[in-house]
Structure 1
């Protein structure tokens, strides 16, 4: 089996997501899809490590990732989960031309479609549709970041767990308790108590 084969349904999903941000002319679609490559990331492997320089802009065709960083004491802090149908890159590295501040780990065997940073830059210099796509996407990231910060400032751990369930309704069975606790900023033991209360309330 050729691991470099790109399935048509992966491309269709990617294009459908892009069209949610902007209308893309057919000739731009052809130019874009000609540049796409595929990489498979095995469960627990990293797509990007902290300190890496980003050279790819990727789209998750299949699988699941967590984005996290290490505190000064070595504690892992999960910022966000990314499942199929989302983009994946160290955007601070792209914008600032610096190394990534975060690590991107596959929580399942995953497939990424990607273009090189060089091809990404060429796209942005071409048709204005790509600028609209990037602008809309970064607006979405900003809103997501703001909602996350507000939750940590104004919600207790149980409320944050309920927000997690609403934000990621299909992921709780695919993510370990350790990683969920890291995302919520609590210990796995505290998460166990919260989950028990959550089940009791819902029954």
Structure 2
């Protein structure tokens, strides 16, 4: 729970009373490798603080091919935000790529605190804004950078992830095939 407190402090400090109320809503849990936090088609009800581990958000195309839309590495929040706020079924599954330690809370209970804890609501707004900026940057990179540049940016953004997850998941996040990623890696190693 200490890492959750530090995470809040890093983005927008919360008052001690707010931290106590928020902390009371979260319960520790484990998310074993390959297990799902949310599946497409589910209506998301819970959010979680990812204290350790790596989780992917992905969707399946009609042909069954998977595309990793987002990678979450600790510390971060996970949960299908679109489903949480809309009440509609999730379109993106979230699956642990490593064993993960999480703190789970009912999203609605957290948002009910906004009325009495404006510092929490401010944190949520700032967090949502930062996610928006990251999402926009990722979309720009996918359309304007070549695969080698995207891989370079991946390594900067996720310095410890590459050794923990399969090449397939990295390639999927980059929007390329695993063989293309292998060629990029060989080229970098030979340089």
2:99 aligns to what? 109
- CA shift for structure 1 position 102: 0.4
Measure, in 1, the Cα distance between the counterparts of 2:171 and 2:79. 23
Secondary structure of residue in 2 paired with 1:178: helix
Match of 2:50 among 56, 60, 69: 60
Match of 2:73 among 75, 78, 83: 83
Is 1:70 the counterpart of 2:70? The answer is no
2:36–2:95 Cα contact (<8 Å) kept: yes
2:169 aligns to what? 179
Moved >3 Å (runs of 4+) = none
Q: Within 5 Å, give how 1:34-45 maps onto structure 2.
A: 34-45=24-35
Match of 1:31 among 21, 33, 36: 21
Query: Unaligned regions of 5+ residues in structure 2, if any?
Result: none
Measure, in 1, the Cα distance between the counterparts of 2:24 and 2:121. 19
Secondary structure of residue in 2 paired with 1:20: helix
Match of 2:113 among 112, 123, 138: 123
2:83 aligns to what? 93
Q: RMSD of the TM alignment (CA)?
A: 1.1
Is 1:164 the counterpart of 2:164? The answer is no
Measure, in 1, the Cα distance between the counterparts of 2:67 and 2:22. 35
Q: Within 5 Å, give how 1:10-29 maps onto structure 2.
A: 11-29=1-19
Measure, in 2, the Cα distance between the counterparts of 1:98 and 1:132. 25
Measure, in 2, the Cα distance between the counterparts of 1:169 and 1:62. 15
Q: Which moved more, 1:187-196 or 1:29-38?
A: 29-38
Deviations 1:7-34 (A, max 9, x none): xxxx111011112222311111111212
Deviations 1:131-183 (A, max 9, x none): 11111101110111011111111111111111111111111111101101111
Output the TM-score relative to the length of structure 1: 0.90
1:146 aligns to what? 136
Query: Unaligned regions of 5+ residues in structure 1, if any?
Result: 1-10
2:181 aligns to what? 191
Measure, in 2, the Cα distance between the counterparts of 1:81 and 1:23. 25
1:21–1:132 Cα contact (<8 Å) kept: no
2:33–2:96 Cα contact (<8 Å) kept: yes
